[in-house]
Amino acid sequence: MALRALVVDDEPPALAELGYRLQEADPTAEVETASTALDALRLLRQHRFDAVFVDIQMPGLSGLELVDLVNEFDEPPAVVFVTAYDEYAVRAFEVQALDYLLKPFGRHRFQSALARARKHIERERQGEIAGRLAALLRTGRSPEAAGERLLVKSGGRVSFVDVDQIDWVEAEGNYVRIHVADQVHIMRETMNGLFERIGPHQFFRIHRSRIVNVTRVKELLIAGGGDYHVVLWDGTRLGLSRMYRDALQDHLTRR
């Protein structure tokens, strides 16, 4: 997910330099600018930003006053102060700033501040995903998928599988392996086709070749490198692909 950053400085050269530094360090970043703290506050109320790089001394509302207001938001952005004055450092960290850049600063110093902000943002996103999943498990699934059954043909035998009873599903070429407790049913169907039939109200994709029933999920374990393991109630542990982590967050946000 691209970083959304807001740069705030009343001096045009400083504003341009910060924008340049951000794009240089992260070409995929979405960067907006504001020349006053009041303009920045308006943008922050209208849009969600991951990070704010803000000067402290500005006419009217100061950078510190701006951050005091922003900290009242439900999901405040990460804050990095950028200033030519070192006497505000203690106050800056009192308002929970992640870093304090003293002008003039070099390329490596800026990249260090950006990396710290990114780590903070990633931790916040991970916590948000876990919280949303917990809420989803508490509220249960939509009734739209209730009572559906799958017809599975295997070895001259026809079986009916209740969608409610499915733990998880994995793709195997043009077939899927449907895990129900200690049984495995093989069905001629693509993963995409099956997911369209039984999801997304009760199931979500955790890997290119795996979907899981959210009512069977016991917990998420955060693994090294920011990855997750999805743990089912029967102890089965499945990897949550980093590729689908943001998609999972969007899925849970829409519920």
Neighbours of 59 (CB within 10 A): 10
Neighbours of 134 (CB within 10 A): 14
Rounded CA-CA distance 47/31 in Å is 12
Domain final residue, candidates 136, 165, 192: 136
pLDDT (tens digit, 9 = 90+) per residue, 109-133? Answer: 999 999 988 888 887 776 666 566 5
**Given this model, what pLDDT does residue 242 score?**
74
Q: Looking at the structure, tell me whether residues 163 and 179 fall in a common domain.
A: yes
Q: Do 18 and 86 reside in the same domain of the chain?
A: yes
Per-chain mean pLDDT for the chain? 83
Residue 15: CATH number of its domain: 3.40.50.2300
For the chain, count helices (H), then strands (E): 7, 15
- Asked if residue 93 and residue 11 are part of one domain, the reply reads yes
d(CA 247, CA 199): 14
Classify residue 145 by its DSSP letter.
G
How much is the pLDDT for 250? 60
**In this predicted model, what pLDDT tens digit does every residue of 32-86 receive, in sequence order?**
999 999 999 999 999 999 999 999 999 989 999 999 999 888 889 999 999 988 8
For residue 249, what pLDDT is reported?
Answer: 55
pLDDT computed for residue 51 by the predictor: 93
User: Tokens representing 94?
Assistant: 């009192």
Q: Are residues 36 and 81 in the same domain?
A: yes
Which CATH number characterizes residue 155's domain?
2.40.50.1020
Whole-number pLDDT of residue 224: 67
Statement to judge: residues 84 and 178 lie in one domain? no
Q: Report which of residues 134 and 20 the model is more confident about.
A: 20
SS3 252: helix
Pick the last residue of a domain from 136, 166, 199: 136
Pick the residue with more confidence: 202 or 234? Answer: 234
Q: What is the CA radius of gyration of the chain?
A: 24
pLDDT at 167 over 90: yes
Taking only the tens place, the pLDDT of each residue in 144-156 is: 444 577 877 766 6
**Dist CA 153 CA 43 (whole Å):** 57
Higher pLDDT: 77 or 138? It is: 77
Check if the beta carbon of residue 244 is closer than 8 Å to that of residue 234.
no
Quote the domain boundaries for residue 68: 4-136
C-alpha dihedral over 246, 229, 125, 210, to 10 degrees? 10
For the cut 80, the answer to whether the pLDDT of residue 92 exceeds it is yes
Looking at residue 39, what DSSP letter applies?
A: H
Structure-token pair, residue 194:
């099956």
| Domain finish residue from 136, 167, 190 | 136
Residue 25: Cβ within 10 Å count: 16
- Predicted pLDDT at 145: 46
